[in-house]
Amino acid sequence: MEKVVIVNKKDQVLGEESRNAAHKVNGLLHRGFIVLIFNQKGELLLVKRSGKKMLWPLFWDGCCSHPRLGEDYIKAGERRLKEELGFSCQLKNIDKFYYRAIYQDVGSEEEICAVLEGKYNGQIKPDSEEAADYRWIDMKELEKEIKTSPEIFVPWLKKALFLRREK
């Protein structure tokens, strides 16, 4: 059973809990992260979440997950890139933010979410259990898509992009 790190709003560790318990509609505040990967053209790598995901299946996202107990955000992001997309690269931590979002009557995310960023231009080999598709997109085009079709993107991606723009 996969566990997530339970924290308070100051991102101080309180313990661990099962992933499922943390993601109930009235779940628990836990650590998460989103990795934003850019290519040499400045395009962002978008990943369509697998249809097997409990929360936000088939929505566009970055590469995201949860750090394990004792694992920092950067190491967790590097691990997750390898697991989900078949590559890893050097990452930097941009910032983090708090959010809460409910997905239908299925569950929720309540996270302190770190925003990690890296550059990559090589081959991508997505794990079909995690990713249904991927694409590179110009940031201006992405802004247009988010304005016209916000419902196809996960809520934390929009928050991460806004935070990044503010930096």
What is the mean predicted confidence (pLDDT) over 157-163?
93
Tokens describing residue 17: 């809990």
Closest by Cα among 75, 80, 104 to 91: 75
pLDDT tens-digit series, residues 135-157: 999 999 999 999 999 999 999 99
Which range of residues forms the domain containing residue 125?
3-166
User: Which among 64, 110, 113, 130 is annotated as catalytic?
Assistant: 64
User: Which among 84, 110, 111, 117 is annotated as catalytic?
Assistant: 111
**CATH code where residue 140 lies:** 3.90.79.10
pTM for the whole thing?
Answer: 0.95
Give yes or no: 64 in active site.
Answer: yes
Q: Which pLDDT score, from 0 to 100, does residue 167 have?
A: 63
Q: What are residue 108's DSSP bridge partners? A: 102
Give yes or no: 145 in active site.
Answer: no
What residues have CB less than 8 Å from 75, skipping those under 6 apart?
67
Amino acid at residue number 59: F
Q: Which pLDDT score, from 0 to 100, does residue 18 have?
A: 96
Tell me how many domains the chain contains: 1
